[in-house]
């Protein structure tokens, strides 16, 4: 059984059967302010999920679907975002410091919405894939 807690670790936000979140169907999940540090979400479908203010530091989101997701103010520092789909994803204020991501996919996400890119935190020496 997997229990996902809030950032403070007090309130359970979701309980799931199984022992991994990799490849899971999590469409529309309500994970606002979730603690997902170092969690393997690779290949998961998080379309239309609320991950605003979530802590996804060092998370593995490789090949995940984040279409229509709310990632506003989420911390994705050091996360693996390679081959992630960001169609209509709210990325305002996200922290991408040290994250691995496809430059083209993120560029498309920025072009399709009004995002203040100054509110996206990138480490100066971060080298995006692509």
How sure is the predictor about 93, in pLDDT bands with cuts at 50, 70 and 90? confident
Host domain of residue 10:
1-130
Predicted local distance difference test score (pLDDT) of residue 46: 97
pLDDT tens figures, 117-127: 555 555 555 44
Whether the pTM exceeds 0.85: the reply is no
pLDDT tens figures, 43-75: 999 999 999 999 999 999 999 999 999 999 999
The tokens for 90 are 């709210």
Partners of 14 in the beta sheet? 4
CATH number at residue 67: 2.160.20
Predicted local distance difference test score (pLDDT) of residue 33: 97
- How large is the average pLDDT for residues 73-90? 90
pLDDT tens figures, 29-46: 999 999 999 999 999 999
Give the pairing type, strands 80-81 and 100-101.
Answer: parallel
Confirm if 72 and 94 have CB atoms less than 8 A apart: yes
Could you say which DSSP state residue 4 is in?
E
How many domains does the chain contain in total?
A: 1
The tokens for 45 are 């479908």
Predicted local distance difference test score (pLDDT) of residue 89: 87
How sure is the predictor about 12, in pLDDT bands with cuts at 50, 70 and 90? very high
Four-point Cα dihedral 78, 82, 85, 87, nearest 10: 60
């Amino acid at each position: 059984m997997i229990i996902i807690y809030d950032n403070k670790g007090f309130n359970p936000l979701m309980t799931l059967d199984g022992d991994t979140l990799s490849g899971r169907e999590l469409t529309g999940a309500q994970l606002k302010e979730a603690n997902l540090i170092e969690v393997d979400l690779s290949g998961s479908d998080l379309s239309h999920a609320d991950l605003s203010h979530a802590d996804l530091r060092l998370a593995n989101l490789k090949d995940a679907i984040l279409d229509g997701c709310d990632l506003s103010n989420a911390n994705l520092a050091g996360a693996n975002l390679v081959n992630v789909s960001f169609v209509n994803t709210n990325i305002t204020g996200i922290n991408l410091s040290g994250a691995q991501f496809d430059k083209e996919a993120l560029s498309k996400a920025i072009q399709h919405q009004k995002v203040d890119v100054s509110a996206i935190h990138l480490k100066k020496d971060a080298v995006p894939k692509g």
